[in-house]
C-alpha cells in the first residue's frame, strides 16, 4: 500500500526563535539582520526533531496568568553591561558600563480553533558616563490565525516599534555620537491551502521606516530623512511533498521600495522594484538533520537612471544538525541585494553566513556559541565591508520564575573603499536577570 502524504498531516509549521527564560520574543542584532522581515518565511519543521531552544521544559516554563480564554505572560529583564568601545570608532576608544530595564507582556489565546496573540514591551538603557548613547525602545504588536476550514488557513500580523540600528549595519552613520534610532511599522497577511501533497502559500506585506536625526561628536546634526521609506511586497510559493520528510518548492516575490525624499539636493533616491525567484527543498530527516535550501535569481531595478540595475545569484539556507538530543548545530546563509547609503552606488550584494551551537549542559543550564560573517560588495564603487561577530553565553534557569544569563560578544567591522565608513572592533559583556510569571 502506498503511504498517503499530505502537508496537512505532516504538521509543517514555522518555529520562531525564542528566549528560554520567557515567552516574549527578543529581537537580537545578528549579522545579516534586515529592517524588512520576509512576509513568508520558509517552513521546514515537521515535528520530527526538537532543538535545544525549542524543547519544552514543563518544570521551568512560565505558567502565566489565566484571563478567561487567554493567558497573560508578564516578564521583566534587567541587564548590566560593559562595552570597551561605546562609540564604535577606530580611534579614541571609550569604554563604559550600562544598565537596561526591559519589561514586556504577551497575551495568547487558549482556543481550540483559531489563535490570537497580543504583545508589547519596552527597553530603557542608560550608560554610566557616556549618556549620549542612552536609548529608549518599545514595541506593540499582534498576530492571529483563522482556520477557514478544510485545508485553508489565513494569518496576519501588525507591529510598530521604536528600535536602535546596530552599528555594524552597512548604512549606519559612523560619524554619529548618539545611537541611530528608527520607527518601523509592519503589516502582513498570509494564506495557505494544502490539498494532499501540494501546499500553496501567498503573502503580502507593508513596512514603513522612519529614521531619527542623530547628533555628531561636534554637536552637529546628521539628517537621516533621506532613509525614510515605504516597502510593499508580495510572495507566492508552491511546495510538493515527495515523502513525509522531504519536499520541493518554487517561490517568487516582488518588492517595491519608495523613498520619501531625494538622497541629496539634485540627487534622486533609490526607489526601486525587486524581483526574486527561488527554488529548493525543505527536509526533516530522522533524528539528525532538518532545514531548507533555496537557490535562484534576484534583480533590482532603480527608477533613477543614475543607478545601474543589479542582478545575480540569490540564495537562502538554514540547516539544523542534531549530533545528540542535547546539542543543536545551526548553519544559516543568504545572498541578497540591499540599498547603499552613499551617493556613488545604487546598492550592494549582501552575503552572510553564521554558525551557532546550543548545548544543554544540564536541564537548567544552556550554553551557546556562535560566529557570523557578512561581506557587502557595492556596485559602481570600490567600497567593501566585512563584518565578523563572535559570541558565547550561558543561561541558568533558577526556578520557574527566575533565571540569569551571561554573554560576551566581539564585533569586527572592516571597511575599505570610498563611502564604506569606518573600521572598528568592540567587545561587550552582559549579565542579565529575568523574572517571569
Handedness of CA 50, 56, 60, 66 (dihedral sign): positive
pLDDT per 10-residue tile (average), the chain, 437 residues: 33 33 37 52 68 82 92 97 92 93 97 95 97 95 91 94 86 82 95 90 95 88 91 95 91 95 89 95 86 95 92 94 93 92 79 96 93 92 91 94 96 85 92 96
Supply the DSSP string of 76-136, one letter for each residue: EEEEEEEES-TT--SSS---EEEEEEEEEEEEEE--SSSEEEEEEEEEEEEESS-GGG-EE
Class of residue 333 by CB neighbours under 10 A (exposed 0-12, middle 13-18, buried 19+)? middle
Rounded to an integer, what distance in angstroms lies between the CA atom of residue 54 and that of residue 303? 44
Residues 6+ apart with CB under 8 A from 131: none
Return the pLDDT at 39. 54
Quote the pLDDT of residue 107.
Answer: 98
Beta bridge partners of 395: 366, 405
Other beta carbons less than 10 A from residue 242's beta carbon = 12
Residue 84's pLDDT is 96
- The pTM score is 0.84
Report d(CA 332, CA 314) in Å as an integer.
Answer: 14
Residue with cell 507591529: 159
Element (H, E) at 300: strand 289-302
Beta pairing, strands 229-243 & 246-259: antiparallel
pLDDT at site 264: 85
What grid cell was written down for 394?
A: 550561558
pLDDT at residue 47, rounded to an integer: 67
Amino acid at each position: 500500500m502506498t503511504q498517503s502524504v499530505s502537508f496537512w498531516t505532516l504538521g509543517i509549521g514555522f518555529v520562531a526563535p525564542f528566549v528560554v527564560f520567557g515567552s516574549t520574543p527578543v529581537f537580537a542584532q545578528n549579522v545579516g539582520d534586515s529592517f524588512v522581515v520576509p512576509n513568508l518565511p520558509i517552513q521546514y519543521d515537521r515535528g520530527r526533531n526538537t532543538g535545544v531552544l525549542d524543547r519544552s521544559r514543563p518544570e521551568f516554563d512560565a505558567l502565566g496568568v489565566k484571563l478567561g480564554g487567554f493567558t497573560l505572560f508578564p516578564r521583566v529583564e534587567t541587564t548590566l553591561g560593559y562595552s570597551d568601545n561605546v562609540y564604535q570608532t577606530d580611534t579614541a576608544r571609550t569604554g563604559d558600563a550600562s544598565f537596561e530595564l526591559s519589561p514586556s507582556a504577551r497575551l495568547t489565546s487558549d482556543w481550540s480553533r483559531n489563535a490570537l496573540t497580543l504583545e508589547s514591551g519596552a527597553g530603557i538603557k542608560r550608560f554610566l558616563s557616556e549618556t549620549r548613547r542612552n536609548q529608549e525602545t518599545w514595541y506593540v504588536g499582534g498576530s492571529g490565525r483563522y482556520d477557514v476550514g478544510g485545508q485553508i488557513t489565513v494569518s496576519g500580523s501588525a507591529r510598530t516599534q521604536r528600535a536602535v540600528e546596530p552599528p555594524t549595519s552597512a548604512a549606519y552613520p559612523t560619524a554619529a555620537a548618539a545611537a541611530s534610532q528608527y520607527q518601523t511599522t509592519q503589516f502582513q497577511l498570509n494564506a495557505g491551502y494544502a490539498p494532499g501533497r501540494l501546499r500553496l502559500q501567498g503573502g503580502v506585506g507593508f513596512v514603513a521606516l522612519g529614521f531619527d536625526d542623530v547628533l555628531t561628536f561636534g554637536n552637529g546634526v546628521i539628517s537621516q530623512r533621506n532613509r525614510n521609506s515605504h516597502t510593499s511586497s508580495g510572495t507566492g510559493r508552491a511546495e510538493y511533498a515527495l515523502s513525509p520528510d522531504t519536499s520541493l518548492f518554487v517561490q517568487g516575490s516582488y518588492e517595491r521600495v519608495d523613498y520619501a525624499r531625494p538622497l541629496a539636493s539634485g540627487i534622486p533616491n533609490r526607489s526601486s522594484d525587486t524581483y526574486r525567484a527561488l527554488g529548493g527543498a525543505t527536509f526533516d530527516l530522522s533524528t539528525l538533520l532538518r532545514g531548507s535550501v533555496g537557490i535562484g535569481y534576484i534583480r533590482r531595478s532603480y527608477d533613477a537612471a543614475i543607478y545601474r540595475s543589479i542582478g545575480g545569484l540569490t540564495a537562502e539556507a538554514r540547516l539544523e544538525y542534531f549530533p545528540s538530543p542535547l546539542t543543536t548545530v545551526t548553519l544559516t546563509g543568504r545572498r541578497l541585494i540591499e540599498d547603499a547609503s552613499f551617493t556613488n552606488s545604487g546598492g550592494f550584494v549582501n552575503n552572510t553566513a553564521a554558525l551557532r551551537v546550543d548545548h544543554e549542559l544540564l536541564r537548567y543550564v544552556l550554553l551557546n556559541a556562535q560566529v557570523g560573517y557578512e561581506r557587502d560588495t557595492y556596485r559602481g564603487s570600490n567600497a567593501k565591508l566585512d563584518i565578523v561577530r563572535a559570541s558565547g553565553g550561558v543561561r541558568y534557569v533558577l526556578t520557574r520564575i527566575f533565571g540569569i544569563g551571561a554573554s560576551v560578544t566581539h564585533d569586527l567591522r572592516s571597511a575599505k573603499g570610498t563611502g564604506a565608513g569606518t573600521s572598528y572592533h568592540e567587545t561587550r559583556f552582559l549579565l542579565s536577570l529575568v523574572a517571569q510569571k
